[in-house]
Structure 1
């Protein structure tokens, strides 16, 4: 003998199931009715019906193209998860399974890399919870992330700073000097400086508007002192074939590639173990030391 159970609630599609025992059928009816009223039932059904591979495929198709900066890296990270756990239903992708896979991921990779892999999948789960209603909760939320080591911090001393600026100023290539001054004055990233266009700079008000930033938000950066003077000099010579402030002579539509003159300036200044991003650390360290707003203090004292 078999028992057919059916739940019919207004506004929801009917649900059916078959049981060998009448008590099981009654229990299922009670649990299903409660889950539907609380908004849990269909998410559970979706999580059993969908696989992680389907979730990742939809995310790669619909969501990742809206994040062009992280498209390549996150696509590669999600593909790894798909290869490892893609055949599992979403209901079976538990925190314990993710933790086990995390440990496998940790083999041969740095903690920071593992954290980025986990973050990529976590965001996909979040979208599936909030927008697609395929899950009730993000299982990655309960998985511990590996502890990242303290980041490297290197900044210039006063003598090193003057030596570097002197070497940049003496360089055959004239653009690295204003680039370095701007980095020290504002704390801007190299990509932000290289992407500057003339229309981004308001010399009258003394502001730079950054449209493309690391976190995707537009922000304004004060431009004062020696940095402003250098930008004013650059603005006097305007080329019609590019809007870039720091452009390549060989290809004006592309930003200048300063790796070679930057490396030469470091060698001539006798500075070791220093990267362009460390100029940002230098700007921050001087702000903390002077206990004054960085953008004004540095620009006036370079």
Structure 2
């Protein structure tokens, strides 16, 4: 049932029905009544399993952006992808007409503009939007992204630091063994070396606090692959990792402070800047995770390695993050 209340010269409408509680403010009571009537009709259609007649894919994206994405870890990236998609032709398609042909057209257009890896990330977001529409809102009968052909993925990256690339980048960042890393850029250099020792992601390193470290173990409180059954992980620290931590500036008594005191976005931005100054092409901060995994694979069995890196799918671990030098492997055969 809709209720209306006048506040400070404006009309506030509230609809509470079928477990939904929404409010909006309008200039006139007539506008508030029209909104409430339309919303109640939509809710009634949802209960009957009818696809809203006038809703477009853009409307679906707008609802998902307002109700679902803000509550998800990584929702900020979803919001960016959704905002971009709402500017494209597929956003104008009525939900009653939406099918795999529109998805295929969107896919082919995007592949002309960006790499398939970017299209796949957008695909995952948009597919979840449609799944939500099917399961929770009844705005779609089926998910067209499950019918259309997914774009082929890019070959797994194999990039690792080569030659003196890492030393050049560390120099550009101002990191030196001669003095503690006091500046933010120097601490990014320390974070890079720590990543190679631990295989931790840049976001995990950025969130690491002094209170998360006990003895020779660092507790990753929140990981990219966490779900209800898997919350965080423990990462063993080598002697070199402990040495890197010991060189960081630290305020006495502030155990909740971040060890490296650099946000994840700044780590990525400063790494890119240092890489450009060092004239190194293509080596991302995330590539250091591959370097670390390859080094750790020489010391740990595969199940222990997966525990350290946080991989639950061993196929991803071997295909993407483990990049051994086959020349070295050949020598080990003799």
Asked if structure 2 preserves the Cα contact closer than 8 Å seen for 1:60 and 1:75, the reply is yes
Aligned to 1:224: 237
CA distance in 2, matches of 1:109, 1:162: 29
Could you tell me the TM-score, scaled by structure 2's length? Answer: 0.60
Q: 1:84-121 CA distances to partner (integer Å, 9 max, x unpaired)?
A: 23343212001122212322232222212222222222
Aligned to 2:14: none
- Please say if 1:213 is aligned against 2:210: no
- Please say if 1:202 is aligned against 2:205: no
- Call closer, same or farther: CA 1:261–1:105 in 2, change over 3 Å: closer
Gaps of 5+ in 2: 1-45, 182-186, 310-334
SS in 2 for 1:129: helix
Per the TM alignment, residue 129 of structure 1 is displaced from its structure 2 partner at its CA by 1.0
Asked if structure 1 preserves the Cα contact closer than 8 Å seen for 2:85 and 2:91, the reply is yes
- Call closer, same or farther: CA 1:139–1:239 in 2, change over 3 Å: same
Which one scores higher on RCO, CA 8 angstroms, separation ≥ 6?
1
Asked if structure 2 preserves the Cα contact closer than 8 Å seen for 1:52 and 1:85, the reply is yes
Per the TM alignment, residue 277 of structure 1 is displaced from its structure 2 partner at its CA by 1.9
Q: 1:228-255 CA distances to partner (integer Å, 9 max, x unpaired)?
A: 354356597526597111126xxxxx68
- Please say if 1:79 is aligned against 2:83: yes
CA distance in 2, matches of 1:105, 1:161: 34
Counting only pairs closer than 5 Å after superposition, residues 120-159 of structure 1 correspond to structure 2 as 120-156=125-161
- Please say if 1:186 is aligned against 2:198: yes
CA distance in 2, matches of 1:171, 1:133: 63
SS in 1 for 2:86: helix
CA distance in 2, matches of 1:286, 1:121: 37
CA distance in 1, matches of 2:257, 2:223: 18
Alignment RMSD: 3.9
- Call closer, same or farther: CA 1:92–1:231 in 2, change over 3 Å: same
- Please say if 1:101 is aligned against 2:106: yes
Greater C-alpha Rg = 1
CA distance in 2, matches of 1:103, 1:165: 38
- Please say if 1:170 is aligned against 2:184: no
- Please say if 1:89 is aligned against 2:103: no
Asked if structure 1 preserves the Cα contact closer than 8 Å seen for 2:220 and 2:234, the reply is yes
Asked if structure 1 preserves the Cα contact closer than 8 Å seen for 2:250 and 2:259, the reply is no
Per the TM alignment, residue 189 of structure 1 is displaced from its structure 2 partner at its CA by 1.2
- Please say if 1:284 is aligned against 2:293: yes
Counting only pairs closer than 5 Å after superposition, residues 110-125 of structure 1 correspond to structure 2 as 110-125=115-130
Asked if structure 1 preserves the Cα contact closer than 8 Å seen for 2:202 and 2:264, the reply is no
- Call closer, same or farther: CA 1:125–1:163 in 2, change over 3 Å: closer
Asked if structure 1 preserves the Cα contact closer than 8 Å seen for 2:226 and 2:232, the reply is no
* Count of residues in Structure 1 that have an aligned counterpart in Structure 2: 245
